Amino acid sequence: MPALDVKAISKTPIFKIVLIIIVIALIVGLNLWRNHSYSGQLVHTAKVEEKSMGEKVYASGSIELQEKQEVVARDTRILKQLYVKTGDRVKAGQLLAVLECVTEERMLADARASLASEEANYKGLITPSGEDLAIGEAEFEQAKTAYENKQKDWQRKESLYTAGAVSAQEMEIARQELMVEEAAFLKAQKNYDILCNGPRGAERKAAEANLSKAQTTVQAAEEEISHYIIKADIDGVVLNLENRPGDMIKTGDKFIIIGQPERLQVKVGVSEADATRVKPGQKVLIEAAALTGKKFSGKVTEVAGLARIKETNNTRQVEVPVGVSVEDKSGRLKAGYSADLEIISVAEKKRLVIPYEALQKSKGKKQVWVYDDGKARLQTVTTGVEGELYLEVIKGLNKGDLLILDPPTGLKDGQKVRKATMPAATPKDDNHD
Amino acid sequence: MELELNTDTLSLGQRLSRIFTSPSRVFVDLQRNHSWLAALLIISSISLVAALPLLSKMREFSIMQLQRMPDNPALSSPEAINLVGTTAVIGTIAGALLMPLLFALIVALLLKLFNAFTGDKVQYRKLFAVCVYAYLPMLLSCLIALIIGLTTPVESFGNVSTTLYLFFPPDTFTFPAMLAARIDPFMLWSLYLAALGGAILMKSEVKKVGIYVFLIWLIYALGTSYYGALKMSTMV
C-alpha cells in the first residue's frame, strides 16, 4: 500500500477548497447555534429583594436659636456701662448695659415731678383732709359774712339815696362792691361744696385728664430711656458682646445677643412634592456641615399651613416652611451652622423592594416587566414607600422575581428576551434607605 | 517557502479564483502585470451586492439598538430614529464600497514601509495591486456574513460574526472577548496573502514579511481590544 503523502495532499487545490468549505461550514454552524442559544432581545435584570428601607424627606437650612434677644442700637450712642460679658448666664429683667442718655434721664425726672404734682392735686380734690375742709369752711363763712355785710351796706345806701343823701356815683360803687362780694361768696361756696361732696362733671374729668397726661408722659419717658438702659427680656446666655464701655455704638448695631444655646431649631423649606409626607412629631436626623459624620436628633415642631415661592437663579420653587427642634446636649452645635436634615417620614423596616429602573407608568398604572423563563411578562404592581434608589412593592411581585431594568421601547408581553451577561449600572446599596 | 514559477499569464478570472488555491502563482503574475482596477471594481461591487440585501435589517437593528438605550427624549424622537436608520444604511453602503480600497491602501503602505528597509525596491502601486487581490478572503467572509445575516432575525443581527467572538456569549465585553472579536480567520488569511505577495515582489522571505504584518496586526488588535473593553466597562 503506497504511503500517504500528507504534504503533497495539503498542497492540492482540492484539499484547500475542502479546507475552506470546512471553515465556512464551521463559522455558519457556530452562528446558527449561537443565534438559537442567544435569541431574544438583550435585557438587563435585577432581582426583587428584601431591604431595610424607610422614607425620608431631605432638606437643608441653618441652625437658629429657638428664642433670642438681639439688642439693636436705635441711634448712635456711647456705651456707658456694661454689666455682663460673653458667656454669662442672665435672667429676664437683669440689667445688661447702659448707653449715654442724659437728655432722656432729665425728661424722665421732669415727667415724674409733673406726675407727682398732678397726683397731689387730684388726691387733694378727691379726698380732702380735715384741715382742707376747715379752711374751705372758714373761707366760705368769711365770704358769706362779707357778702351779707355788703348786702346790708347796699340796702342802707339805697335808703340814703332815696332821701337824697348819697349821690348816684356812690350808689354805683356800692353796687359793684356788692357784685364782687357776691362772686367771691359763690366761688367759696362752690369750693366748699367740692371739698364736702367731691368734684363733679367737668371738674372731675379735667382733673383726671391732667393726671392721665402726666402718667403718659412718665411712661413715654421711661420707654424712651429703656432703649438706653438695657435689660434682658429672656433667661439665657450672653452669646455675643463685642463692645467695651466707652465704645461708640452706631445706629442699627446688634451689640448684645442673648439666647438659649441648648434650645436650637432649624427652619427649612420642604418641596411641595414632599410636604404632604412631613408631619409634626416626626423624627429628624441633623448633620451640621461643621461636624460631619455626627448626626443629631430633632423633631418636626411645625409645618406651615401655607406654601411659599422661593426664587433662586431664575428658578421658582414652591416649598412649605417646616420648623424642626434640635436636641443637642453636647453643646457642639452652634446657631448659624448650616445643616442637612433627613426627616424620617416612614420608619425603617424590612420591605420588598425594586429599583426605580424597573418601574414604568402606563395609563395611571404602575407596571414592571418580569423576566419569566426567557420571556418578558408585564406585571401591574402596587408600590409603597419610596426610597432614594429603591421603592417598596406591596403587591404584584415575590421575592426573587427577576425584573427587566430600563425596559426597551416596544417590548411586548410574551416577547423573547435574553439576560445580559454583564450587569447593568444598578444602584448601590444604601443602608439609609 | 517554495514559490511557484509558472510563467503563463493569468486572466482576471483566473487571478480571482486562484488566489484561494494558488496565491503565489497569482502574485508572480502580478509582478509582470500589476493591473488592479478591474479587480478592485469587481471586489467592491460584490461587496456592495453582498451588503444590499442586509440594508433593511441593518436599519431595523440600528433603531432597535437606539431604543435599547435608557429613556432619552432626544433619542426617541422620530427624527432621531430616522437619522440613525439612514446613517446605518449609508454607513453599510460606504463600508462595503470603501473597505477593499482602504484595506489595500493601508496594508500596501505598511508593506512599502517594510520595503524601505529591506528587499528589492518595489513600487507602491504593485504592492497595492497585491493587497487588492489579498482582500478576496475578506470578501468571502462578507458573503458568509450575508448568508448568515439573511437567516438571522433582526434582534440577533448583532450576533452575526466570522471571528472567534463566536465562542463567547453575545454582549460579552471582557478583554479576551474583545480580542477574540478581532481574530477573524478570513482577515488573517488576507493579511497572510498580502505578506506572501509582498514577499514575492520584494524577493524577501515570506516569514519575515509575515511576522512584520502579523506584529502590526497584533498591536492593533491588542490596543483596540483593551480600549474597547475599558470603554465598555465604564459604560455599564
Confidence of residue A429 (pLDDT cuts 50, 70, 90): very low
Residues of chain A contacting residue B147, judged by C-beta atoms under 8 Å apart: 28
- What is the predicted pLDDT for the residue at B7? 58
**Per residue in A264-284, pLDDT tens?**
999 999 988 888 889 999 999
Pick from B148, B162, B236: CB nearest A423: B236
Check B166 against A31: CB less than 8 A apart.
yes
Which is nearest to B206 in space by CA: B121, B138, B119, B124?
B119
pLDDT tens digits along B171-195: 788 899 999 999 999 999 999 999 9
Q: Is the pLDDT of residue A329 over 60?
A: yes
**Residue predicted with more confidence, A330 or A150:** A150
Nearest residue, CB atoms, B67 vs list A39, A409, A425: A409
Interchain proximity B151–A32, CB inside 8 Å:
yes
Q: What is the pLDDT of residue B211?
A: 95
User: What's the pLDDT score for residue A3?
Assistant: 62
Q: Which of A365-369, B79-83, B122-126, B231-235 has the lowest mean pLDDT?
A: B231-235
Q: Which residues of B touch A409 (CB under 8 A)?
A: 67, 76
A395 against A424, higher pLDDT? A395
CA quadruple B85, A31, A27, B54: dihedral, nearest 10: -20
Residue to substitute from B21, B24, B76, B156, interface A, most A β-carbons within 10 A:
B156
Q: Which is nearest to A157 in space by CA: A173, A145, A179, A181?
A: A173
Q: Give mean pLDDT, residues A119-131.
A: 83
Nearest-CB residue to B148 (from A28, A40, A418): A28
Does A42 contact B166 at a Cβ distance shorter than 8 Å? no
Average pLDDT rounded to a whole number, residues A196-225? 88
Q: Between residues A61 and A2, which one has the greater pLDDT?
A: A61
Hey, are the CB atoms on B172 and A422 less than 8 Å from each other? yes
Q: How far is A410 from chain B (nearest CA, A)?
A: 8
Residue, of B76 and B58, whose pLDDT is higher = B58
Is B70 in Cβ contact with A41 (below 8 Å)? no
Q: How far is B34 from chain A (nearest CA, A)?
A: 24
**Is the pLDDT at B3 greater than 80, yes or no?**
no
What is the rounded average pLDDT of the residues A364-376?
Answer: 91
Least confident of A183-192, A270-279, A411-420, B22-31: A411-420
Lowest pLDDT segment from A20-34, A267-281, B68-82, B125-139: B68-82
Q: C-alpha A57: how far from its chain's center?
A: 19
CA of A41: which chain B residue's CA is closest?
A: B155
Contact B138, B103 (CB under 8 A): yes
Average pLDDT, chain A: 87
Instruction: Indicate whether A410 pLDDT > 60.
Output: yes
Task: Report the alpha-carbon distance of residue A75 to residue A225 in Å, rounded.
Answer: 12
- Other C-beta atoms closer than 10 Å to the C-beta of A295 total 14
**Using the beta-carbon criterion (under 8 Å), do A30 and B166 form an inter-chain contact?**
yes
Q: CB contact, 8 Å: A8 with chain B? A: no
Q: Chain B contacts of A422, Cβ < 8 Å?
A: 171-173, 232, 236
Count of CB pairs separated by less than 8 Å, A with B? 74
User: Among partner residues B144, B151, B171, which is closest to A422 by beta-carbon distance?
Assistant: B171
Position A300 confidence tier, pLDDT thresholds 50, 70, 90: very high
Query: What does DSSP say about strands A417-419 and A41-47: parallel, antiparallel, or unpaired?
Result: parallel
Residues of B with CB below 8 A from A16's CB? 20-21
Mean pLDDT check: name the lowest of A287-291, A345-349, A406-410: A406-410
Does A55 score more than 90 pLDDT?
no
**Interface contact A31-B71, CB threshold 8 A:** no
Q: What number is the average pLDDT over the span B79-84?
A: 84
Binning pLDDT at 50, 70 and 90, where does residue A404 land?
A: very high
Q: B185 contacts in A (CB within 8 Å)?
A: 23, 27
pLDDT above 80 (res B102): yes
Query: Once rounded to an integer, what is the mean pLDDT over residues B82-105?
Result: 92
Say which residue the cell 421603592 belongs to. Answer: A391
pLDDT digits (tens, 9 = 90+) for A213-265: 999 999 999 998 888 999 999 999 998 888 889 999 999 988 899 988 888 99
Pick left, alpha or beta for residue B198 (phi over 0 → left; psi -120 to 50 → alpha; otherwise beta): alpha
**Tens-digit pLDDT profile for residues A385-399:** 888 788 999 999 999
Residues of chain B with pLDDT > 90, as a percent, come to 56
Q: What's residue B31's pLDDT?
A: 86
- Cα separation, B58 vs A398, in Å, equals 39
The three cell numbers locating residue A34: 449561537
C-alpha cell at A219: 411712661
With 60 as the cut, is the pLDDT of residue A433 above it? no
pTM > 0.90: no
Provide the pLDDT for residue A352: 93
Q: Are A335 and A366 in contact (CB under 8 A)?
A: no
Per residue in A89-124, pLDDT tens?
Answer: 999 999 999 999 999 999 999 999 999 999 988 887
pLDDT confidence of residue B41: 95
Q: What are residue A268's DSSP bridge partners? A: A61, A322
Helix boundaries (H) for B116-170: 124-134, 136-150
Q: How many CB atoms sit inside 10 A of residue A5's CB?
A: 9
Which tens digits make up the pLDDT trace of A64-88? 888 888 899 888 999 999 999 998 9
What is the 3-state secondary structure of B72-127?
Answer: CHHHHCHHHHHHHHHHHHHHHHHHHHHHHHHHHHHHHHHHHHHHCCCCCCCCHHHH
pLDDT, chain B, mean: 88
> Is it the case that residue A432 has pLDDT exceeding 70?
no
Decide if A35 and B156 are in contact by the 8 Å CB cutoff: yes
Partner B contacted by A32 (CB < 8 A): yes
Cα separation, A310 vs A308, in Å, equals 6
B144, A17: Cβ pair inside 8 Å?
Answer: no
* B69 pLDDT tier (thresholds 50, 70, 90): low
Q: In whole angstroms, how far apart are CA A214 and each of A125, A204, A253, A430? A: 16, 16, 33, 72
Query: Is A29 touching B (CB cutoff 8 A)?
Result: no
Banded model confidence at residue B4, pLDDT cuts 50, 70, 90: very low
Q: With 50 as the cut, is the pLDDT of residue B1 above it?
A: no
